[in-house]
């Protein structure tokens, strides 16, 4: 059992490539087969150099690893179509010799004009077979001739238009045109290359987007003419924009796979989300829906019969929710290491943080883990823990909230916190030494019991002094992490600025 994903390197990888890879892979891993990454780079006009590397990076980031591919090699190498050009030639020769394909010398201008006339007179569009049955000399005598021919399929009138699909059952497609299979530049078109490569690479199941349904009868014809066994077909529903149009990089930034990492999504959430787009939730032992699941859980119970053939709409709200769930389920150390690139990007930490900084980051991460839906929210929450006290900026909206009694609140806080022993005695939950419990007890005693203030009113200015913002990670734990010196510095600085 072998599957493949066959993206064309035409720019930023499309989210559809991850979606196809996921469904291919869920099935392949379940069946113990191999999953191949093949680069379909025969469209030289749309080729983009860096796009292949981005593909490896993004699919790898998602953990959707391939067993064979241009980068890892494999028994059917090369896995880039541009490096397989000699492979296709003999197949084309066979098709020409058996009369199933023919040379076509029609110029672009002639083809464009033919199409225009067909459209104007409301005839079906398609090649009119002017070149079929003619030698080069015979054709050269007629107008609209070019020197470099293409090769076309001779699609018979009785072409089989329906086929079996593992998701959709019997599927019908419209009648194809005399498709070009070899271009004037000597490159095969997608249709020929995909059939030859899927055959040569032993692909047993072709899982791809529903936009290819109309091409499948041509592919089946090629298999038949060449005497090859066709694979099973699974045409996945297309991802759609909220207006139901096909999701495109032009219209929707979320069509770019790199976008998700930029936005702060974790790969587990995106994989879970992509699975849910076309697949029902898992069921727990009591038959309840479980929307949060891992790739392994998905793969284990995977069943083509459950794939919903109706084009799913991208609902980013759902993804954001899943992202929060996944973030909360990570171990704090793991989450901290995932935050590093975002913190570096935002200038909060250098690319090479010290052990002390990493320790502090892990402590802060545990505090903010439940307060984040996206990893990109981390720099604002983490930043205050990594600036020098005199560099902390008090945000205008936080300052605007301070009241007339703020100086008294700060004075009291400075007084009682000053009395706490500088070192945490390490007695868990005991309010002795510089720890969150002791800090909380001191502040509540002084401000809530002592001054009779409401906690929210009393702690607001302290929060602002510590983080510079109106909202911050939990206050007492934040003070513990900052340490006594820094905490008092910050309280005094705000006090002095009033």
Q: Which of residues 234-253 bind ligand GLU (CB under 6 A)?
A: none
Q: Does 3 bind ligand GLU (CB under 6 A)?
A: no
Q: How far is the CB of 96 from ligand GLU (least distance, A)?
A: 24
The correct pick among 18, 40, 163, 463 for binding ligand GLU (CB under 6 A) is 40
Q: Does 189 bind ligand GLU (CB under 6 A)?
A: no
The correct pick among 100, 168, 208, 360 for binding ligand GLU (CB under 6 A) is 208
SS3 68: strand
Q: Compute CA 247 distance to the chain's CA centroid, rounded to the nearest angstrom.
A: 13
Beta bridge partners of 36: 4, 68
Q: How far is the CB of 272 from ligand GLU (least distance, A)?
A: 23
Which span (3-11, 169-177, 244-252, 254-262) binds ligand GLU, by CB under 6 A? 3-11
Q: Does 212 bind ligand GLU (CB under 6 A)?
A: yes
Which span (5-13, 101-109, 144-152, 448-456) binds ligand GLU, by CB under 6 A? 5-13
Q: How far is the CB of 81 from ligand GLU (least distance, A)?
A: 9
Q: Does 194 bind ligand GLU (CB under 6 A)?
A: yes
Q: Which of residues 286-345 bind ligand GLU (CB under 6 A)?
A: none
Q: CB pairs under 8 A, 24+ apart, for 427-436? A: 434/480, 434/483, 434/484, 435/480, 436/474, 436/476, 436/477, 436/479, 436/480
**d(Cα 305, Cα 234) in Å, to the nearest integer?**
11
Q: How far is the CB of 216 from ligand GLU (least distance, A)?
A: 9
Q: Which residue number, 80 or 134, has a Cβ lying nearer to ligand GLU? A: 80
Cis peptide leading into 78, omega within 30 of 0?
A: yes
The correct pick among 2, 3, 7, 319 for binding ligand GLU (CB under 6 A) is 7
Q: Which of residues 133-172 bind ligand GLU (CB under 6 A)?
A: none
**d(Cα 237, Cα 168) in Å, to the nearest integer?**
10
Q: How far is the CB of 357 from ligand GLU (least distance, A)?
A: 44
The correct pick among 6, 154, 443, 469 for binding ligand GLU (CB under 6 A) is 6
481, 364 contact by CB (below 8 A): yes
Paired sense of beta strands 169-172 and 162-165, if any: antiparallel
**d(Cα 88, Cα 138) in Å, to the nearest integer?**
27
Short-list 55, 44, 65, CA closest to 12: 55
Q: How far is the CB of 208 from ligand GLU (least distance, A)?
A: 3
Q: Compute CA 236 distance to the chain's CA centroid, rounded to the nearest angstrom.
A: 17
The correct pick among 3, 8, 58, 369 for binding ligand GLU (CB under 6 A) is 8
Say how many C-beta atoms besides its own lie within 10 A of residue 384's C-beta. 22
**d(Cα 247, Cα 270) in Å, to the nearest integer?**
16
Q: Which residue number, 81 or 406, has a Cβ lying nearer to ligand GLU? A: 81
Q: Which residue number, 68 or 440, has a Cβ lying nearer to ligand GLU? A: 68
Q: Which residue number, 220 or 443, has a Cβ lying nearer to ligand GLU? A: 220
Q: CB pairs under 8 A, 24+ apart, for 300-306? A: 300/30, 302/26, 302/27, 302/30, 304/27, 304/166, 304/167, 304/234, 306/279, 306/280
Beta bridge partners of 171: 163
Q: Which residue number, 53 or 107, has a Cβ lying nearer to ligand GLU? A: 53
**d(Cα 448, Cα 459) in Å, to the nearest integer?**
9
Size, binding site for ligand GLU by CB under 6 A: 8
Q: How far is the CB of 160 from ligand GLU (least distance, A)?
A: 19
161, 174 contact by CB (below 8 A): yes
At 190, list the tokens.
């997608």
**Among all residues, whose Cβ is closest to ligand GLU?**
208
Q: How far is the CB of 228 from ligand GLU (least distance, A)?
A: 16
Which span (1-9, 151-159, 391-399, 465-473) binds ligand GLU, by CB under 6 A? 1-9
Q: Does 205 bind ligand GLU (CB under 6 A)?
A: no
Q: Which residues participate in catalysis according to the annotation?
A: 249
Q: Does 424 bind ligand GLU (CB under 6 A)?
A: no
Q: Which residue number, 152 or 191, has a Cβ lying nearer to ligand GLU? A: 191
Q: Which residue number, 65 or 212, has a Cβ lying nearer to ligand GLU? A: 212
Q: How far is the CB of 193 from ligand GLU (least distance, A)?
A: 9
Q: Is 244 exposed, middle or buried (0-12, 13-18, 19+ CB in 10 A)?
A: exposed
Q: Which residue number, 233 or 342, has a Cβ lying nearer to ligand GLU? A: 233
Q: How far apart are the first and last CA of the chain?
A: 72
At 236, list the tokens.
């996945």
**Triad 57, 58, 63: Cα angle to 5°:** 95
DSSP conformation class of 420: S
Q: How far is the CB of 16 from ligand GLU (least distance, A)?
A: 8
Which span (4-12, 173-181, 274-282, 333-341) binds ligand GLU, by CB under 6 A? 4-12
Q: Which residue number, 219 or 490, has a Cβ lying nearer to ligand GLU? A: 219
Q: Which of residues 58-97 bind ligand GLU (CB under 6 A)?
A: none
Interaction site with ligand GLU (CB under 6 A): 6-8, 40, 190, 194, 208, 212
């Amino acid at each position: 059992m072998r599957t493949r994903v066959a993206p064309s390197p035409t720019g930023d990888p499309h989210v559809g490539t991850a979606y196809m890879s996921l469904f291919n892979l869920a099935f392949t891993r379940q069946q113990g087969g191999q999953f191949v990454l093949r680069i379909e780079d025969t469209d030289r006009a749309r080729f983009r150099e860096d796009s292949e590397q981005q593909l490896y990076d993004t699919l790898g980031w998602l953990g959707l690893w391939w067993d064979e591919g241009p980068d890892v090699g494999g028994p059917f190498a090369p896995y880039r179509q541009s490096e397989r050009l000699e492979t296709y030639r003999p197949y084309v020769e066979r098709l020409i010799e058996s009369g199933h394909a023919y040379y076509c010398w029609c110029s672009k201008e002639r083809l464009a004009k033919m199409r225009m006339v067909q459209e104007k007179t409301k005839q079906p569009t398609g090649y009119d077979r002017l070149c079929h049955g003619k030698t080069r000399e015979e054709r050269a005598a007629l107008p609209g001739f070019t020197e470099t021919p293409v090769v076309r399929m001779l699609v018979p009138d009785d072409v089989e238009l329906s086929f079996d699909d593992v998701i959709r059952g019997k599927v019908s497609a419209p009648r194809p045109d005399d498709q070009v299979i070899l271009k004037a530049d000597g490159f095969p078109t997608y249709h020929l290359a995909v059939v030859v490569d899927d055959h040569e690479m032993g692909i047993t199941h072709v899982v791809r987007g529903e936009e290819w349904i109309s091409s499948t009868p041509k592919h089946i014809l090629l298999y038949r003419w060449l005497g090859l066994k066709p694979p099973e077909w699974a045409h996945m529903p297309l991802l759609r924009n909220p207006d139901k149009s096909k999701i495109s990089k032009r219209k929707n930034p979320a069509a770019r796979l790199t976008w998700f990492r930029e936005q702060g999504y974790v790969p587990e959430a995106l994989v879970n989300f992509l699975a849910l787009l076309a697949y029902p939730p898992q069921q727990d032992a009591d038959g309840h829906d479980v929307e949060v699941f891992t790739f392994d859980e998905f793969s284990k119970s995977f069943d083509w019969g459950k794939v919903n053939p109706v084009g799913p709409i991208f609902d980013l709200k759902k993804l954001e929710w899943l992202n929060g769930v996944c973030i909360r389920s990570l171990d704090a150390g793991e989450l901290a290491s995932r935050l590093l690139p975002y913190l570096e990007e935002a200038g909060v930490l250098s690319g090479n943080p010290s052990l002390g900084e990493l320790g502090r980051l892990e402590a802060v991460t545990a505090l903010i883990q439940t307060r984040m839906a996206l990893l990109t929210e981390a720099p604002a929450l983490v930043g205050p823990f990594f600036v020098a006290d005199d560099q902390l900026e008090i945000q205008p909206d936080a300052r605007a909230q301070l009241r007339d009694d703020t100086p008294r609140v700060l004075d009291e806080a400075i007084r009682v916190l000053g009395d706490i022993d500088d070192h945490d005695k390490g007695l868990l939950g005991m309010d002795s030494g510089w720890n969150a419990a002791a800090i909380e007890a001191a502040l509540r005693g002084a401000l809530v019991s002592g001054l009779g203030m409401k906690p929210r009113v009393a702690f607001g200015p302290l929060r602002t002094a510590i983080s510079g913002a109106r909202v911050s990670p939990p206050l007492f734990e934040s003070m513990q992490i900052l340490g006594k010196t820094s905490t008092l510095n910050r309280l005094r600085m705000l006090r002095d600025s009033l």
